[in-house]
Amino acid sequence: MNTAASRAVRRQASARLGILILAIVVITAALLWLSVSVVHAVPDSPVDPTLPTDPTDPSDTGGGGLSVDINGPDGAPSSAIVTLLGITLLSVAPALLLMMTSFTKIFVVLAMTRNALALPSIPPNQVLAGLALFLSLFIMAPVLTDINNVALQPYLDGSLNFTDALDLGSEPLRQFMLANTRGEDLALMTRAADQPNPDNPADVTLLTLIPAFMISELRAAFIIGFVIFIPFLVIDIVVSAALMSMGMMMLPPVMISLPFKILLFVLVDGWGLIITSLIGSYQMAT
C-alpha cells in the first residue's frame, strides 16, 4: 500500500512539473512574440534619395586603374620586385648551375671515378652532387663576387636599372666561360647557328657561348676520366691474368681486384688528387 501511495504521489508531482514547464514555455513564447511585434511596429525614418552621378568621358583615364611601383621612394627597387626576381632566379638556378658553372665537369669526373673503382653506388649520388656543388661554389666564388659588386649591389641601391645590371652582371660569367671554352667548340656552334665568325670575344653571344662551354666541359671531363681509368684497368688485367694462370676461371676478377683498387686509391690520396686537379684546371679563369 505504501508503495502504491508513493507511486501516486510521484505521478502527481511529475504532472505538476510538466504543467509548470509548459506554462513557462507558453509565457516565454508570448513575450518573444510581443517584443517582435513592438520592434516591427516602430516605423523607420525615411532616407533622402541620392542624386545621380554625371557621366564620365571614356577617353579620359584620370589616373585610375592598376599601377605597379617598380622603384621605391629612394630610387631602389621595391621589395615586391626584389622578391619576384629572387623567386625567378631560384626557379632557373638548376639550369644556370648545370650550363654556366663548373658543376657538370666536376660531377662527371667524380661519377667516372666511382665507376673506375667498380663501386656503382658508393659514394651515393647525393654525396657526389653535394661535393660537386660546393666545389663549384669554391671555384665560382671570384665570379660571384664580381657579379655582386658590379651589378647586384648597385641595382639594389638604385644606381643602376635592371637592364644595365643584367648586362654588367653577365660580363664576369661571360669571361669565365670564354676562358674555359675551346676555340674549336666555339667555331662549331657558330657554324651550326649559321652566324659569321666574331671579330673579338666581346662579339660572341651567350646563345653560342653556353653550348660551346658545355661541350668543352664534357670533353675535359672525359679526358680526366680516361686518365683515372688507366691504373684501375691495369689492376684488373693483372688480377685476371693471375686468376687465369692459377686455373680459377670461375672466380670473378672484381672480387679480387676491388680491394687492391681501394687500397691504391687510398694510398695515393685519390680524392685529394682529383679535387686538386679539378680546381687547378680553372685557375686561369679565376
Q: How far is CA 19 from CA 22, 23, 26, 150, 182, in A?
A: 5, 6, 11, 92, 105
Tens-binned pLDDT, residue by residue, of the chain (286 aa) = 456 666 666 666 666 766 767 667 667 766 666 554 544 444 556 666 777 776 666 555 555 454 555 555 555 665 666 676 667 666 666 777 777 888 888 898 988 888 888 887 888 888 888 888 888 888 888 888 888 888 777 777 777 777 777 778 778 888 888 888 887 888 888 888 777 777 776 777 777 888 888 888 889 889 988 888 888 888 888 888 877 777 777 777 777 778 888 888 888 888 888 888 888 888 554 4
Do 104 and 218 touch, CB atoms closer than 8 A? yes
pLDDT in tens, 107-116: 989 888 888 8
Residue 119: CB atoms within 10 A of its CB come to: 13
| 122 domain-assigned | yes
SS3 of 205-235: the string is CHHHHHHHHHHHHHHHHHHHHHHHHHHHHHH
| 182 domain-assigned | yes
**From CA 77, how far away is CA 255, in angstroms rounded?**
62
**From CA 77, how far away is CA 69, in angstroms rounded?**
9
Q: Which residues contact 271 (CB under 8 A, 6 or more apart)?
A: 265
Do 71 and 78 touch, CB atoms closer than 8 A? yes
Q: How many residues does the chain have?
A: 286
| 79 domain-assigned | no
| 214 domain-assigned | yes
Provide the domain count of the chain: 1
Concatenating the DSSP letter of every residue in 49-84 gives PPPPPPP--TT--TT-S-----B-TTSSBPHHHHHH
Strand-pairing partners, residue 77, are 71
Is the pTM of the predicted complex or chain greater than 0.95?
no
| 238 domain-assigned | yes
pLDDT at 189 (0 to 100):
81
**From CA 209, how far away is CA 191, in angstroms rounded?**
12
| 216 domain-assigned | yes
| 40 domain-assigned | no
pLDDT at 27 (0 to 100):
72
pLDDT at 196 (0 to 100):
76
Q: Which residues contact 13 (CB under 8 A, 6 or more apart)?
A: none
Which among 5, 179, 213 has a CA at the least distance from the CA of 105?
213
| 225 domain-assigned | yes
- Range of 194's domain? 105-280
pLDDT at 213 (0 to 100):
87
pLDDT at 150 (0 to 100):
80
